[in-house]
Every structure is written in C-alpha cells, then in structure tokens.
C-alpha cells in the first residue's frame, strides 16, 4: 500500500512520522510544492496535548535543543497591567511539556526525523499538486508526472488545492477585519524569562502576543523573542504566511506601549524582519473525506491563530489518521468521524471565545483605564471558567492530556 501526503508542513510531516511510529506496512511519500525545505516563519506554541504526541513520536529531545519551555501565561491590559498568570506545561502539573518554538525549527526537526526514519527519498520536493482523480488515487502535479497511491491526505494548508476541488463554490477564507503583523527580535529576558504575554484585548483595544522562542542565542543570555500584533482594518492582504509587512502600517498603535517590564514599541522597531497576514479562517465543513482522499490540518479546519491550536490540531489529526491506518477498516471514514466534530469546535471557539477574551472583559469593565485592584474588576473564578472552557474544547486540559505522576 502507498500513502501520499500532500504538503511537508507540520501536519504532513507529523503524519509521516506517526505512520512509521505505528509500524504500518506501507510506503509513504510526502509531496511538497517548494523546491527546498527551509526553516521559514516565526513562533508557534505547542501545548501539552501536542507534547504528548511528540513525546510518543520520539522528537522531544530534539525539540528541547531548539525551543523554549515556557514557565507561565500572562494576561495584561494595554497599559501593561497584570490581569492574571498561570503556570504552563510541566509546571502546571501536566505529564508532557509545552514548547514555544520557531516554526522553522519545528519543521526542520520533523523533516530530519522523517528522512532518518523513512528514508531521504520520502519527501519529494518541487511537486505542486494541481488535483486528484479518485480512480484509486491519481495525483497530478504542475510540470511533473502524475503519481498513483492507495490513499492520499491533503495537508496543503489554508489555500488547499484539493479542498477547492471538493468544495469548488466555497469561496475565499473568511476575513475578520483584523490584520496580523509578526516579527522576531533579539532581546534580553523579561519577566520570568519564559512568559507568554497576551497584552490588550481582541475586541476592545489592539492586541500583542509576545514570548521567547530560543534561549541564549549569543552566549550572553539573549533570547529570540517572537511577537505578533492584531489591528482592526478594512483592507485584507494576501493569505500568505510569508508576505513581508511594513512597520508604518501598524506601529503607531503600539508606539507608546512602554511598560516597566518591556518596551513593546521598541521591540517592534528592533525586529529582524516583518511579516503580515490577515486574520482569516473558514466556516467548519461536515465532510473531509472523498473516496480515498481526506483533508488534514489547515486544509481541513483553518482557524484563527489564537490559543495555540492551529498547529496543535494538525498534529492531532496526523496522529489520529495514523492510528486508524494501523487499525484498518474504513480508515478515512473513521479518521473523519473522530476528528471533524472536535476540530470544528476549536475553530468556532477560537473565533468567538479564545483565552484572550478575559482581557476584553477587564478593558470593558474599566472603560480602558488602569485599575487599582484586579479582584474588584474580575474575579479569578470568572477568569478560570473562560480559560478552562477553551482548554476543554481544544483537548488541552489537564484531565484530557494527563497529569504528572
């Protein structure tokens, strides 16, 4: 049996590793449109529900060498006032780690593991898939011969060619009237040296997310710090994760964010580069599988990059698919039945009530002004109820993931 995977991103490479880990007797080929696998992008968080699967796949040691294991989450108003903190990963009692990592480092760890375990010819670059025929499976590529397979997984992202083939009238991704700008900056450690900071509300103010993704990059303790900001706008840019951005388009909203724990405006001015991306997702769909082809990751359930679940859900998809492939039977139908309802709930929760909404509630109750005592504005019980609901929907709560012994 031959399994074809379209796309060598996080989801596609994890699927290849998971199939190998399950010991499935098959040949795996991952087809990637780029001519070379390069460590592109900025930061990504891998919460413990990812850490559990990546531990099982045997890549945790490699990730630890290039990632940061954060200590805590922190929620702050746009004045830099602390609303709430809570520990994360092993410090929160999970049995598995949480990693903050450069997306390119994550992809290269997965890519090297795939080549080592499945062979250097497993990933075929320079093959942009243009469509599929369901006669068995025949994959067509731009400028390359067609390839046959017994099953195919489309892990080709939010602009998936195969999803468009199956849903030709769906239209473009849904724009939220919010644009994202992202960058990375060399900076000395701030706060705990491992704090994932959410600053400002989604709906009431402009918002920034800031956290370190590499430690001691110069032998002097300097960190590589990832940052991303969200600003309301009527103008939508290209749906392209690697589109360059301009400081002039957003920096004025954050220029005066000078906190006693971080100068956010300067952090952005000192960035190594800038990328821009519209805040888009797609409405959930009830069906991913068509004959012997199914969708995975952003091709199946693109969601807002809030709450650390875009890459996470792709990893969970990949592991579920490999498990059903090992079990046999109606593999793709079983995979779809397990993952569609779970992933679709995360799409809607990320759109409507991600963890950051506790900041919005504080900003509303204070009228956007500094507070004297957060307990008089919003109780811990209220905050924890919101945060726990998101964890339960995404499968990242302690009971679902597993507690440390």
How confident is the model at residue 306, as a pLDDT?
A: 83
- pLDDT at residue 159 in the model: 95
Q: What span, in angstroms and rounded, lies between the C-alpha atoms of 313 and 334?
A: 17
Q: How far is C-alpha 111 from the chain's CA centre?
A: 17
Which residues of the chain are modeled with pLDDT < 70? none
Query: Measured between alpha carbons, how far is 160 from 285 in angstroms, rounded to an integer?
Result: 14
Give the pLDDT score at 287.
97
Joined together, the tokens standing for residue 34 give 């780029």
In this structure, are residues 216 and 235 in contact, taking their beta carbons and an 8 Å threshold? no
Q: What is the pLDDT of residue 162?
A: 97
Q: What is the pLDDT of residues 38-82, one digit of tens each?
A: 888 899 999 999 999 999 999 999 999 999 999 999 999 999 999
Confidence at residue 202, expressed as pLDDT on a 0 to 100 scale: 84
pLDDT at 316: 97
| pLDDT confidence of residue 405 | 83
The reported pLDDT for the residue numbered 353 is: 84
Distance of CA 105 to CAs 67, 177, 191, 377, Å?
A: 8, 30, 24, 40
Cα–Cα dist 73/85, whole Å: 5
DSSP structural state of residue 91: G
For 221, the token pair is 């303790």
Q: What is the DSSP string of 238-264?
A: -S-TTEE--GGGTGGGTTT-B-SS-BH
> What is the rounded CA–CA span in Å between residue 253 and residue 79?
13
Say how many C-beta atoms besides its own lie within 10 A of residue 223's C-beta: 23
Q: What's the pLDDT score for residue 40?
A: 84
């Amino acid at each position: 049996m031959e399994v074809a995977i379209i796309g060598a991103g996080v989801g596609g490479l994890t699927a290849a590793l998971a199939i190998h880990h399950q010991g499935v007797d098959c040949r795996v080929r991952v087809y990637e449109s780029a001519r070379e696998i390069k460590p592109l992008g900025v930061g990504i968080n891998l919460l413990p529900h990812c850490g559990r699967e990546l531990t099982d796949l045997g890549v945790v040691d490699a990730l630890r060498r290039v990632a940061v294991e954060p200590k805590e989450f922190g929620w702050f108003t746009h004045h830099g006032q602390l609303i709430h903190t809570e520990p994360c990963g092993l410090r929160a009692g999970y049995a598995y780690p949480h990693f903050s990592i450069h997306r390119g480092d994550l992809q290269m760890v997965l890519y090297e593991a795939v080549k080592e375990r499945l062979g250097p010819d497993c990933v075929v670059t320079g093959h942009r898939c243009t469509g599929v025929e369901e006669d068995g499976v025949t994959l067509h590529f731009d400028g390359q011969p067609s390839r046959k397979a017994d099953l195919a997984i489309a892990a080709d992202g939010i602009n998936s060619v195969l999803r468009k083939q199956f849903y030709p009238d769906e239209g473009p991704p849904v724009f939220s009237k919010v644009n994202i700008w992202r960058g990375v900056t060399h900076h000395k450690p701030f706060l705990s040296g491992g704090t994932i900071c959410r600053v400002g509300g989604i709906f009431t103010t402009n918002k920034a997310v800031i956290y370190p993704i590499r430690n001691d990059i110069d032998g002097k303790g300097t960190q590589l710090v990832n940052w991303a900001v969200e600003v309301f706008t009527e103008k939508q840019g290209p749906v392209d994760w690697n589109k360059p951005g301009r400081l002039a388009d957003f920096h004025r909203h954050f220029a005066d964010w000078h906190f006693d724990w971080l100068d956010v405006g300067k952090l952005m001015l000192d960035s190594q580069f800038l990328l821009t991306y519209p805040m888009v997702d797609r409405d959930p769909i009830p069906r991913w599988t068509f004959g012997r082809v199914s969708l995975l990751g952003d091709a199946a359930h693109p969601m807002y990059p809030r709450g650390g679940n875009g890459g996470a859900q792709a990893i969970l998809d990949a592991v579920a698919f490999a498990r059903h492939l090992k079990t046999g039977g109606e593999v793709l139908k079983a995979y779809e039945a397990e993952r569609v309802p779970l992933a679709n709930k995360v799409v809607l929760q990320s759109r409507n009530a991600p963890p950051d909404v506790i900041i919005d509630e504080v900003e509303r109750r204070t009228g956007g002004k500094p507070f004297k005592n957060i307990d008089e504005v919003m109780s811990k019980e209220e905050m924890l109820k919101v945060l726990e609901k998101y964890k339960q929907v995404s499968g990242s709560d302690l009971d679902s993931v597993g507690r440390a012994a």
